[in-house]
Amino acid sequence: MLTRKQHELLVFIDRHLRSSGFSPSFEEMKEALQLKSKSGVHRLISALEERGFLRRRHHRARALEVLRLPPEAAQRPAPSASPARTEAAGFSPNVIRGDFTSRLQGVRAASEAGAVQIPLYGRIAAGLPIEALRDSGNNIEVPLAMLGSGEHYALEVAGDSMVDAGILDGDTAVIRKAETAENGQIVVALVDETEVTLKRLRRRGQSIALEPANPRYEVRLLPAERVRVQGRLVALLRRY
161 flagged as catalytic: yes
Do strands 115-125 and 152-158 pair parallel, antiparallel, or not at all (unpaired)? parallel
Q: Which of 91, 110, 139, 100 is nearest to 235 (CA)?
A: 91
- Residue 199 annotated in active site: yes
d(CA 173, CA 34): 32
Q: List the catalytic residue out of 39, 161, 177, 207.
A: 161
Q: What CA–CA distance (Å, rounded) separates 100 from 16?
A: 25
Name the nearest CA neighbour of 191 among 132, 122, 133, 151: 132
Pairing of strands 95-98, 227-239: parallel
Helix, strand, coil proportions of the chain in percent (round to 5)?
25, 35, 40
Report the Cα–Cα distance between both ends of the chain, in Å, rounded: 35
Please pick, among 82, 111, 199, 207, the residue that the annotation labels catalytic.
Answer: 199
Burial class of 139 by CB neighbour count within 10 A (0 to 12, 13 to 18, 19+): middle
The residue type at 45: I
C-beta neighbour count of 25 within 10 angstroms: 20
Active site residues: 161, 199
